[in-house]
Structure 1
């Protein structure tokens, strides 16, 4: 901790010294961004690569920058509905620059329908407006296929869509640790609480649930988005509460035509309308849009579907005060989704239902004040409020083979209970209403010392989240999952304290530009602390430091033809912490209802009598910590004459992932099962009719711990060839090789379910090492993009080859290293006990965990998709796609010896877009 603090202080001191030495030689250049008709383009984005300065044009298309005289800078200029342009400008005093952008059209020679790599900070990919339009997405989940390692897979339309990044397989910690940043505002679902494990593990609709899994990607429409960036490497120190990566989205702003988009395929219907217009030069610009989507899992099953309605209103304006400028951005957005299902009328008469009403409303404000003064160049203030209502209504049919009890008391001790009927419907609700408030103040300072450009970013942020929902609302006399009464007495969400988190950060971006090579270093740190916690949370109340570093060295190799081969070597290391959610910090207490007396004759008999002894157990883990992911990345990029080669090796290691670990607690109570005087008839039995027995057992309790270990390593690659002019075709080959190991870093407890003479086994075994699951995947995606400007048409043929997809389980400990009995005293397993386990002792033999290693490998698979987009004129554009037009998934034998084939059906659809 001290080392990290010293680094931050050193960074700040060096930055101030650099600032004081490097202010000489700056001049102001002005300019304008226009289209081909010399019409000014408002709110075009300008990024000066070398010092990493960003600015936007005002309502008249003008911009102003303070740069060093005599230097040559690279400008990236982009605007909604226009082709991004890169130019190099030599800075002179009072220089005036005019930049012209071409309107997007398929009549142009260059059309970008792929993700573009961005290696300024680790490995990132940018999906621009044309690429978003061409792939015909329904949600942001569809854009992941464009990045190296991304896979095309037909998914369940109603299931929760969690992200899988740089891994083979999926896990909740990766999805939870993926940050979603929309227009600079971080979005999360950390304020949810819903502790019904049986619903998550055993319910028929469990695939639709997403508690503690991050953002459901299918709820976010791409129709309101102009640009998406997916960063998989080491993040900026400005970003926190993450462990996997970041998805940045930029909303549509400015003046745009009225756009209407209609998409249809056998399972999806989508309609969107949006327009940006100028209120007046004095009042700024407004953009408004809405879309509606309807999805089915299976068109033959009309009872299971997902509907989504989104709307967004944004306002932006720019003001000038002499040399200073102020940019304002306000956004109001709303998402409403209905995920519902009903059973077939012939089987359950429409009574078993699942309905999830989801609504998310966000209001955000951003102000950027630029070109300030001596110490601070830019100040950015971001403030946002986000309110979500997420309500699950479930009516579940319960059918019992044997009569089961249901407790009615919420107090500890003995109480009267009831026997449940053999068939009944259980209606319950899960109500979450989290409200989040976020504020961030960010400042930037620029300077130059010789050939070194410096950018210092520093700031502070605060976020609070309070859940005002009712939580789980359940009828204790009709529990949805009988036999497990642990979760029928939940705490209301509104009674749980709010999550409160604050952070400060500091980051230095240093760039050196020389004749032989360029060098860039991003060095920063972040300090985060959680507030509003009980003093018992000794570890969560600490300050968590996250050092992060990215470095890149690039150089050019001159050729005899006057061209250059540009090479770049990249390396990065960082620590990223994902904080625990509200559900993890404040779990509901576990109630265990022991059967004291149970007398049952027939259903609804007045002589039935059941008494339970209720115990309450606190399962809060006061030692919980954030999930820390240590990330390392090494990359190489080479560019020559539109030929691009990019290789990235990464290694990520986390031993503190969140995992629900079953623990056991000894319990002793009195029960009355053996009659004293034979059978009892004609009256309700009482305790005095039975022999009193002291009964000892163990209570199993799920406790959230930092026990999930995830190890990721692999190589991502991209090879893009120059355009084949006679064929009007560009070829890109990308893919990845991923190796992922899932295991646990904590010892596990095991209590055999076997009962001897109706009594549980007397010990709980402790096993040092859990099972290890190793999964590998190696894929190659080939993209053939054909652009024929004469006919304004783009064809894309996509080949996906999965060369390797296997899974291997390596067993953990088969024998316990320690154990405890009903007294709770921990004892070591001696050699004598081990001999008893191995030789089949009547008791100890049940503590041998018989496991079988397995290895399963899928055969090589090929998928071919086809997309086409035709621009008829400025007003009309039509697209068509066929997925799985060729599908090769051979039969193979799984680990059980069964013959398996992953069938995929051809799937087609079309869309048309109007611009008025």
Structure 2
């Protein structure tokens, strides 16, 4: 018995040393392994002990000393199969021996040609299972290797600029094989199958992504990237125009972010949180600081604005315009669509590789390749667009694509006061090298110039003009090295440098008797200066944003049992700085005529942007894509997380996209994601706020009535507030999403249900300090001119940035497609949805009023509850697409329905809960009294709070027609509001609303030279 215990103890010690647990008897049908980071050779020995079989192998070739972890149990063949997949080895039983050798690789090759049978070089071949991209050579051929017995099929996607995308599913065999020749015809209306609407499919980065290919882009007549967003479900279709700032907002019923001088902070936060990804690198707006000091006016009112039309009857008369877009997203007007191959709109849970976002991403892909020279011209009633592009390939240097676009547009051709000119040029150079072209590199250079002008209106007594200019230059490089064997499959490195010159300029004629001003920058009492009252007031801001971005991506694959995992991991870095001269302020030319020092004034001073610290961000991510089976049905999973470091804040963002194939024609999806967005430089460093408190003014005049500056005196107190925003945190969001996809016999129906919360949104908070100063009195001709007697309290207002805004967004999105009915050569597409946004500011709101008298208890600032509001919107569009290949014709007719547009605010939000007096006293209102003379004017009527309530359903109709006149010439005709249907209704605040813009017509010519 003692001997048995001794033997058992030694056996347990042996198992502990190997890190392997054995349960059951050593027989072939009951083998179990439980190893944690053990040497492969030791695992072989344990299997030999359990089974009596002998392993035969070359230790050097299979690297038997490497360590690995494995847990499996079952029959010997199943255990060996699992071990082989885990170790990437070919393991087979031969008699009483187990033969181990390196995994055998097969070769898959193919050829890509055009419609005439000529080989196509530089075609991108993407293999979904490997997450790899291959390129065809000069003969149009490609080849790839794959581990035999590891894959039953491969999915290949072929793409090239100007040619119709192709896809192939290849069933693999146990030997080398060549697939059928792939034909990629040039895009043409004469093709049997033409894409007429965006689609969703399982190759995208999220369950609800929307994919827009080149065919759809060409038919859209888009003036900019923003026009393509009209294809997103539940989006109201906007008329094509470049006369307003265009910032993308996704899944939020935001107020406008376009061109008004006052902009909604909630809308700006949503646009700021939408990432624009161009060729794998985000286009950052973090270093844009083109605003006036938000500490003086608040974030929504800090933009330089000007009137754009003086025409009687014009809907733009009296409206204010600003061409700046700081604190928000990238202005999409700057991105022309000429050289865009595809766009993916991710309104749901984005891939973990993308950071610095809270509200989705728009992924833009461009590729270089050989293509004919294309000349395009688009004529619209308010814009003229010219485009030229050419792609060519050389034997040694690779493929080049050159492109240019020039656009000139006017808001109103009758007066042409408001104009927008855009020049964009692009060079892309792609090359490949190595065995089977394993190394690919794409270099791109872009230059753009955007001139946004408002000219002087002859009927404007102030002769105001404004210029918003933006010159941008960027260079980027994408390198990718493909590894055909082993764990790693790809190593990618993306780098981008961009530099912009931004110039905002506004001038207005001022006509007064005189002004008094101060240029003091130190806190304390100082003398003001008298100056003539006839001058030109100027607002001038100069910015030079610089962004440097880098991304390292590594892709690998490994097995757990029969499950193939595609692992992506990497890091990104972003550096942002603004080297501009900043706010160029001349205090002697103030924006307001000030000839009497009767009230305090927030005054601007010169603020140099180049002295501001640079912003640096670092992100790490890992993402695992795999397909397993649940209840004997395929389950596709994308599991990832990323970590972002900004200043002292560290954010971890888990993201999950699951898609379950309930039936071959029915898929269910679930997704969850967390995301964060760092503040911009303009929010971190808005600059100091100066407040001037007038203390005494004595203005002497000469016999001619002119100001006697030598005998005049103006005393004021200058206060300086320097905001401390180091505690500003990144904003955040989390989103839950459920999707349903049904696809059978060409009918495709998709539905998305989402709930998204955003929190810590950045806005400005009104703030005050109270100061007590000596009171100065006129000495009535005595010497000195004043006497000091008593003190007086003053309230010094300003704004400071804080994490204030919270929203919850929920809704349903629907997309449905039918196949083409051959009898009428027509297919139908439905897209629509309904969404609700609840705005929850985390602070009270305020409104300012003017004291008409001398009552010291009069309320000059009302304090209200947080102005919570609920907005519901619903839009739908039905498109009929008639495609007649023999006639080379596609006709799209769109019927749009604006179903609901309603914003509700509780009446209590307009009832003040407190107020401030001019001397800074805060007085609480316990019960509002409408007869109280001190504060009754603070009440906000209900009709002013609920001013966006659409009373009925309104429709609109649009027409797009594309015709290949010849093989070289294509004509496209677009009409927005083809029936000139313009219903009207009065809002509750008696404002006339016309939901449909006037008709706009466009004709586009594309000529292949």
Shared fold per TM-score greater than 0.5: yes
- Offset at 1:764? 8.0
Distance 1:148 1:494, change over 3 A: same
The aligned residue for residue 623 of structure 1 is 727
Equivalent residues in 2 for 1:432-581, closer than 5 Å: 432-481=543-592, 486-512=602-628, 516-531=632-647, 541-556=648-663, 566-581=665-680
The aligned residue for residue 6 of structure 1 is none
SS of 1:153's equivalent? coil
The aligned residue for residue 23 of structure 1 is 88
The aligned residue for residue 102 of structure 1 is 184
Q: In the alignment, is residue 72 of structure 1 matched against residue 72 of structure 2?
A: no
Q: Tell me, yes or no, if the aligned pair for 1:462 and 1:502 is still in contact at 8 Å.
A: yes
Q: In the alignment, is residue 123 of structure 1 matched against residue 236 of structure 2?
A: no
The aligned residue for residue 904 of structure 1 is 997
Q: Distance in 1 between matches of 2:284 and 2:922?
A: 41
Q: Pick from 120, 132, 139: which aligns with 2:217?
A: 132
The aligned residue for residue 586 of structure 1 is 685
Q: Which 10-residue stretch deviates more, 652-661 or 477-486?
A: 477-486
The aligned residue for residue 870 of structure 1 is 963
Equivalent residues in 2 for 1:328-367, closer than 5 Å: 328-348=441-461, 352-367=464-479
Q: Tell me, yes or no, if the aligned pair for 1:270 and 1:294 is still in contact at 8 Å.
A: yes
TM-score scaled by length of structure 2: 0.81
Q: In the alignment, is residue 650 of structure 1 matched against residue 754 of structure 2?
A: yes
Distance 1:59 1:711, change over 3 A: farther
- Offset at 1:814? 6.3
Distance 1:17 1:148, change over 3 A: farther
- Unaligned stretches of 5+ residues in structure 2: 1-35, 38-66, 71-82, 90-102, 256-266, 308-319, 595-599
SS of 1:886's equivalent? coil
The aligned residue for residue 986 of structure 2 is 893
Q: In the alignment, is residue 91 of structure 1 matched against residue 172 of structure 2?
A: yes
The aligned residue for residue 327 of structure 2 is 212
Q: Tell me, yes or no, if the aligned pair for 1:860 and 1:889 is still in contact at 8 Å.
A: no
Distance 1:420 1:714, change over 3 A: farther
The aligned residue for residue 538 of structure 1 is none
- Offset at 1:696? 0.5
The aligned residue for residue 384 of structure 1 is 496
- Offset at 1:421? 4.7
- Offset at 1:787? 0.9
Q: Tell me, yes or no, if the aligned pair for 1:859 and 1:889 is still in contact at 8 Å.
A: no
Q: Distance in 2 between matches of 1:100 and 1:773?
A: 55
Distance 1:846 1:876, change over 3 A: closer
Q: Tell me, yes or no, if the aligned pair for 1:195 and 1:588 is still in contact at 8 Å.
A: no
Q: Tell me, yes or no, if the aligned pair for 1:324 and 1:371 is still in contact at 8 Å.
A: no
Backbone CA RMSD of aligned residues = 3.0
Equivalent residues in 2 for 1:809-848, closer than 5 Å: 809-811=905-907, 834=926, 838=929
The aligned residue for residue 740 of structure 1 is 837
Q: Distance in 1 between matches of 2:644 and 2:350?
A: 15
Q: Tell me, yes or no, if the aligned pair for 2:818 and 2:827 is still in contact at 8 Å.
A: yes
- Offset at 1:154? 2.2
Deviations 1:148-181 (A, max 9, x none): 1232122653321112322323310111111111
Q: In the alignment, is residue 238 of structure 1 matched against residue 349 of structure 2?
A: no
Q: In the alignment, is residue 43 of structure 1 matched against residue 122 of structure 2?
A: yes
Aligned length, in residue pairs: 870
Q: Distance in 2 between matches of 1:229 and 1:624?
A: 31
Q: Tell me, yes or no, if the aligned pair for 1:802 and 1:861 is still in contact at 8 Å.
A: yes
Distance 1:207 1:812, change over 3 A: farther
Distance 1:116 1:65, change over 3 A: farther
Q: Distance in 1 between matches of 2:999 and 2:440?
A: 48
The aligned residue for residue 562 of structure 1 is none
Q: Which 10-residue stretch deviates more, 180-189 or 734-743?
A: 734-743
- Offset at 1:799? 0.9
The aligned residue for residue 486 of structure 2 is 374
Q: Tell me, yes or no, if the aligned pair for 2:223 and 2:240 is still in contact at 8 Å.
A: no
Distance 1:328 1:482, change over 3 A: farther
Q: In the alignment, is residue 82 of structure 1 matched against residue 178 of structure 2?
A: no
Q: Distance in 2 between matches of 1:686 and 1:813?
A: 54
Q: Tell me, yes or no, if the aligned pair for 1:162 and 1:214 is still in contact at 8 Å.
A: yes
Distance 1:407 1:59, change over 3 A: farther
Q: Tell me, yes or no, if the aligned pair for 1:670 and 1:693 is still in contact at 8 Å.
A: yes
SS of 1:494's equivalent? helix
- Offset at 1:687? 5.9
TM-score scaled by length of structure 1: 0.89
- Unaligned stretches of 5+ residues in structure 1: 1-11, 532-540, 558-565
Q: Pick from 768, 777, 788: which aligns with 1:664?
A: 768
Q: Pick from 730, 737, 750: which aligns with 1:633?
A: 737
Distance 1:522 1:411, change over 3 A: same
Distance 1:759 1:524, change over 3 A: same
Q: Pick from 604, 609, 633: which aligns with 2:707?
A: 604
Q: Tell me, yes or no, if the aligned pair for 1:276 and 1:286 is still in contact at 8 Å.
A: yes
Q: Which 10-residue stretch deviates more, 416-425 or 449-458?
A: 416-425
**More strand by percentage:** 1
Distance 1:94 1:760, change over 3 A: farther
- Offset at 1:802? 1.0
Deviations 1:56-109 (A, max 9, x none): 434543131425535123323222222222222122332222441231222121
The aligned residue for residue 897 of structure 2 is 801
The aligned residue for residue 8 of structure 1 is none
SS of 2:216's equivalent? helix
- Decide which structure has the larger Cα Rg and report it: 2
Q: Distance in 1 between matches of 2:275 and 2:355?
A: 8
The aligned residue for residue 150 of structure 1 is 235
